[in-house]
Structure 1
Amino acid sequence: MLKFKSKFSFLLPLMFALFLSLLGVTNVTAATSGDYTIAPSGKSNDVVNIDNGSYYITGTPGQKTEIKLQVINKASSTRNFIYYAATAYTNDNGALSYNSMKVTDPSLKIQTRDAISPKKSTFKVPGNTSATLTLNVTIPTKKFDGTIMGGVTVAPYKEKAKGTVGSNGNLIKNKFSYSIPVQIHQKGAEAVQPKYSVRTVKPDLTTTSKGQKQGVKANIHNSTNSYTGSLSAKAVVTKKGDKSFKITQLYDSQSIAPTTNYDLSIPWGKKALQSGDYHLKLTYKTAGGIKSWVLNKDFTITNNDAAKYNKLAGIKPNYLWLYILLGILALAIILGLGIYLGKRNNNKNNNNGGNGGTPTRRRRR
């Protein structure tokens, strides 16, 4: 059962603020914005470690334990909140997310969400007070190596989004939600290394600072129960048979969750998509480059896909080559016709004896 208690006086240690969009959240020690804060509560023990601001749980299969989550309402009025547990995944921005009730992946065997109870609940916190939620965690009975990962999320419940005016004068409406990661490890289980791969590379629209642009999306997969923290990445795309073609894209803070897949966008820049055979070389590195992974994948862009996504990105077809070809063809026809007419005229003059077509007569004497 979900339990919480209110406190009218509290003292918090140093807190780190983190703004999170509706689409995802990431690791926090204590999140503060939107007039509320969440943080792990209690003390670390042999089963639950909260020293790094998240819940790292180690126990035997079937073992039960409790974790405590503190929610501080910084507003002056009573607010309604919703809590839910989720399995971690990586969203298409390369960030850890905990906003899906069910994560799907071909390598995912255990939903971390199922180890936490209750899975979802709503509650109230009076103004300028805090509440402590007590959650139950059961180590999965099914044996697994490595670490499975999820998160506990708190968000305002049935509140309207607050509006702010951006630098361009547009009204921006934001909602805040915060999550704290939960990592579960079975005692005595072996550690596992990440196994990254590129499953597919397909033409698509990519989101850039200048809007939706043509490019490709590479589906990246981690097939093991492993998490290495934030990674940097470098994507290099080359075209077979064209040594002058090269696209390079750099990425920071790619957090690849255990047994997850996500689409890494590779914009084409000012280049239009063209049909042909391509190769992607993708390199991930840990902080300081201590560990790295190099992934390679061949892919093909068809004429139809190139035309489709170029059009969606607002790129007009370049018909210059066609105009040049038509110009060359027209010139060739004119030259050919001139040569033909010139030869025919010469042949006619030769056949007529060169006298303008008037035959000569002999006189009889």
Structure 2
Amino acid sequence: MINKRKILRLIVVMIGVFLLSLIFMITKAQVGLAVSVKPILPKNQHNSQATYYDLRMKPGQKQDVQMELTNSSDKEEQVTLEINDATTNDAGDIDYSDRSKSVPRDKSLGISFKDIATTEAKLTIPAKKTITTTVRLDMPEKQFDGMILGGIKVVSSEKNIETSDSNNKEKQAKKTYIVAVKLTETDTPVVAKLNLLDVVFSKESNKNIIKATIQNDQAVNLEDIDFKADVYKKNSDKIFAQTKVTGYRMAPNSSFIFVIDGEKQGFKAGKYQIDLTAKSKATNQEWKWDKELEITKSENKKIENTAIDSEKGKIMFYTIICVITFVLLLLLLLLLLILRKRKEKRYEEALSYKKKKRDRNNKNSQRKKKPKANKVDDGRKKRPANSKRLKR
């Protein structure tokens, strides 16, 4: 029989370890960066209230801007620095991370932050120390209106050694800090202009959707934009599907994909009329586009087949996981059965040994208690061995 108390204690210990690990992870997440970043704002800071670089530059100007990097931990920290252009992500926000691998450079972008800024790629910050790093700016010779917008990305890699692993593996938890950089040369106003570049049929999360690519082709950011798309079937006045989003932002000279949801019914093969509206509350500008889109049966079938293949891949993956889990459970059950059999066998052997020992003790006890046989008295007395025979 398996010792239930031992199993219960083991379960309690495992739950305790899990809770302690969870608390440690939450605490660690709340601590944040071991390395803090502080921009040193120069004299040509245009907006003194801004905590980022908002610099008024001149054509051909060369300038070094500095940042303080402070390591508050008890060990040295390795950091990497990246120079990135500002882009618009598909969530409708200005993004300063490196998206060059997935998002091509916008065709309207003449001068990018990457073109004019350079810095050290890697730095080592000693424990409990503050160092100063420099970003070199090299402005183009030709004057421009509007802005160049980018970001300096600082990535701190914290090393964690897994001592419980037999291979003593080392893991890294990357933490990021971004300082935005806005460069201008004139006060000449630049008005944002949005364009509808493309409308295509696609599928995401097992749903047929329409993707509209919208571009801001001017060197100015645009704030607080509301987008609305009304989709009609061809020659119908009834709205087939509608998608609304609010509070979007767009970086200068960038584009993003606005997803038009087909709701529950999705978009099937057929002809559609798309009325798309964008309105910025910040500038009181409004844009409207009308676009026709035909979804052919072959396109729909191709998208569905792609989705089916993707779904099959997911099903296969989860099937493999389930099979592995099932096998592991079987092995665990088999191990428990083997341990139980061994314990039962040891228990039976112990009982048998005790029984045999008890039987032997009983036999020995019975032998000791057995009465002695009575001697028969024949009336004769034994003469002492050393006595002499009496004479008559």
Shift of 1:152: 0.8
Change (3 A) 1:44 1:149: same
Q: Is the 8 A contact 1:277 1:301 kept in 2?
A: yes
* Cα distance per residue 1:323-356 (max 9 Å; x no partner): xxxxxxxxxxxxxxxxxxxxxxxxxxxxxxxxxx
Which of 209, 230, 238 matches 2:232?
Answer: 238
The answer for unaligned runs of 5 or more in structure 2 is 1-29, 163-171, 310-392
Change (3 A) 1:268 1:33: farther
Change (3 A) 1:154 1:271: same
Tell me which residue corresponds to 1:116: 117
Change (3 A) 1:299 1:73: farther
Does residue 140 of the first structure (1) align with residue 124 of the second (2)? no
* Cα distance per residue 1:98-142 (max 9 Å; x no partner): 314585122111121121122x51012234444332222222223
Give the number of the structure whose residues are more often strand, by fraction: 1
Tell me which residue corresponds to 1:83: 81
Change (3 A) 1:259 1:60: same
Shift of 1:204: 1.2
Shift of 1:37: 5.4
Tell me which residue corresponds to 1:92: 90
Question: After superposition, where does 1:194-213 map in structure 2 within 5 Å?
Answer: 194-206=192-204, 211=205, 213=207
SS at match of 2:208: strand
The answer for unaligned runs of 5 or more in structure 1 is 1-31, 163-172, 316-365
Which of 192, 204, 219 matches 2:190?
Answer: 192
Q: Is the 8 A contact 1:40 1:55 kept in 2?
A: no
Shift of 1:202: 0.5
Shift of 1:243: 3.2
Change (3 A) 1:109 1:234: same
* Cα distance per residue 1:129-185 (max 9 Å; x no partner): 4433222222222332211211111112485899xxxxxxxxxx9743232221211
SS at match of 1:308: helix
Which of 244, 249, 258 matches 1:255?
Answer: 249
1:182 maps to amino acid: V
TM-score where L is the length of structure 1: 0.64
Q: Is the 8 A contact 1:40 1:54 kept in 2?
A: no
Which of 221, 234, 237 matches 1:227?
Answer: 221
Tell me which residue corresponds to 2:20: none
Does residue 301 of the first structure (1) align with residue 295 of the second (2)? yes
CA distance in 2, matches of 1:133, 1:242: 62
Q: Is the 8 A contact 1:201 1:217 kept in 2?
A: yes
Tell me which residue corresponds to 1:183: 182
Tell me which residue corresponds to 1:21: none
Change (3 A) 1:244 1:255: same
Shift of 1:79: 1.5
CA distance in 2, matches of 1:252, 1:80: 40
Percent of aligned positions that are identical: 24
* Cα distance per residue 1:36-89 (max 9 Å; x no partner): 455442345335546322211212201122322233434432211100112221
Tell me which residue corresponds to 1:274: 268
Change (3 A) 1:191 1:129: same
CA distance in 2, matches of 1:242, 1:62: 57
TM-score where L is the length of structure 2: 0.60
Give the number of the structure whose residues are more often helix, by fraction: 2
1:236 maps to amino acid: D
CA distance in 2, matches of 1:155, 1:196: 33
SS at match of 2:268: coil
The alignment of Structure 1 onto Structure 2 pairs a total of residues equal to 268
Larger radius of gyration: 2
Cα RMSD (Å) of the superposition?
Answer: 3.2
CA distance in 2, matches of 1:161, 1:181: 33
SS at match of 1:108: coil
Q: Is the 8 A contact 2:242 2:261 kept in 1?
A: no
Q: With CA pairs under 8 Å and 6+ residues apart, which has the higher RCO, 1 or 2? A: 1
